[in-house]
Amino acid sequence: MAIIDGLNKVFESKIRLGIMSVLVANGSSDFATLKSLLELTDGNLASHTRSLEEAGYLTCEKKFVGRKPNTTYIVTEEGRKAFAAHIDAMERFLKECRS
């Protein structure tokens, strides 16, 4: 169906949309920042970042800051492209809805 073609199933979740919009705007973000911006539990955020990592849209770097583990998420080139394509598809969808 033309109106929903190009919408990416990986981005059906608004949490994943939120994560990607932060990463695309900033290049990277750490776990605590994403968790606070999106008001999520640890488990919920981890599950969505895992899905995005499995899709190849982000990579993560685990480090220790003192004794505390800290994970940084970095958007991949593929992730940027996929997000841009999804945004374009959302725009086409809205245009059709408004016409």
Note the residues at the interface with a second copy (CB under 8 A).
Answer: 1, 3-4, 7, 9, 12-15, 17-18, 21, 24, 37-39, 87, 90-91, 93-94, 96-98
Smallest gap, in angstroms, from Cβ of residue 30 to a second copy?
16
Alpha-carbon gap, residue 99 to 95, rounded angstroms: 6
Smallest gap, in angstroms, from Cβ of residue 99 to a second copy?
9
Smallest gap, in angstroms, from Cβ of residue 64 to a second copy?
27
Residue type, 16: R
Helix, strand, coil fractions of the chain, as percent rounded to 5: 65, 20, 20
